[in-house]
Structures are given as C-alpha cells and as structure tokens.
Amino acid sequence: MALNTIELNRQRQPLDHLEDVWLFGYGSLIYKVDFPFLERRPASIEGWVRRFWQGSHDHRGTPEAPGRVATLIEQPGAICAGMAYRVSPDTFGHLDHREKNGYLRFFTALHFANGEQAEGLVYVAGPDNAAFLGPAPLADMARQIACSHGPSGANADYLLQLCDGLRNLQADDDHVFALSAMVRALV
C-alpha cells in the first residue's frame, strides 16, 4: 500500500523561514500547474533520469490496479530537463498532498538555460517507498499504463501530456518518448 509522506516532508524540510522556494517539476508538474507561482522557467538537474517506476494508487490507478508515474533515478552524468517554479512556502501544503504517495522532497541544484543556477526542491519516490514498482520491460509498462485509471483520470493521459510537455520544452527523453509511442499504439 502507498506510503503517505506529507508529515515526513514537513518534518524533514520546514520552509516557513523562507520567502520563496524554487520547485523542479519533471512529471505532471510540467503540464498540470494547479498551484500559484511567482515565476516559471525551464530548468534541468544533473545526475538523474526520469523513469515510470513509481506506482500510482491514488491518482492514475487504484490500490488494486496501480498506474505508473514518473520518478527520478540516480544516473551519474545524466541531465533531466523540466520546469522550475518559484513559489511561496505555503504552496507546499498543496504540493505535499499532491505528491504524498511515496515522494520525498529534497534540495538540489537547478540549472537554467541562461547559465544561472539556484537551489530548488524536487520530489523523488525512491525504491524504498511502498508504492515503488521498479523497472519492467517497456511493453509491460505500456500495457499497464494503457489500462490504468484512477481518480485523476487515465494513466495514459498522464504519460501523453508529459510527452507533449517535454516536446514543448524541446527536451529529449528516450524513455518517455518510447513508452508514449507504445501507449499511443494501444489506446
């Protein structure tokens, strides 16, 4: 079953002493911006790759039939493109609830296209969380994604909207693009 990380995130990183915080989005935070922000800029982080290895019991699947959503996996030398948002600390009340299914937040260096850098928070669901599904053959993941639905809608919509968001950012992601081509063929 899913691990609710809301309180753990609040205890690990209190943010009330900050005026604003950069947030790095690499999955649904690229295309589903249901929170206020002060600024938005394309960004990347180093040493991580995006993978559909996290189970979604609460948004894109159910406890009986979890969907698959993005998390980050450490990979030296890799660069993961996404979107950075400068937000007020109180925004994390909503974000911690949205990312509660096994995601922990931590600070990392964000790199912007103009060469600037900033520290920002990122949510990662690691292999030690209860909803982690891990790697599987792409065809198996595509079938699972094509069939999964949850309270937030079809799992396929999550993947295809992320794919479109990455294309709009002109970001390459072989894993997401290959998976989305397979899912498009199935749905």
CATH number, domain containing residue 79:
3.10.490.10
Nearby residues of 158 by Cβ (< 8 Å), 6 or more positions away: 27, 28, 56, 59, 60, 67, 69, 145, 152
Q: What pLDDT sits at residue 2?
A: 47
Is 111 inside any structural domain?
yes
Please give the pLDDT value at position 8. Answer: 87
Whether 124 is covered by a domain: the verdict is yes
The alpha carbon dihedral of 132, 136, 138, 141 has a sign of negative
Q: Contact, 131 vs 101, CB < 8 A?
A: yes
Parent domain of 78: 6-182
Instruction: Give the whole-angstrom CA distance, residue 105 versus residue 26.
Output: 13
The pLDDT, as a whole number, for residue 6 is 87
Domain contains 97: yes
Catalytic residues: 99
- Mean pLDDT estimate for the chain: 95
pLDDT at 90: 94
CB neighbours (10 Å) of residue 13?
17
So what's the pLDDT on residue 12? 87
pLDDT of residue 14: 83
Pair 120, 111: CB distance under 8 Å: no
In a domain, 187, yes or no: no
The count of domains in the chain is 1
**pTM as predicted:** 0.94
Tell me which residues of the chain have a pLDDT lower than 50: 1-2
Asked whether residue 1 is domain-assigned, the answer is no
Residues composing the chain: 187
CB 146 within 8 A of CB 183: yes
Would 50 be classed as within a structural domain? yes
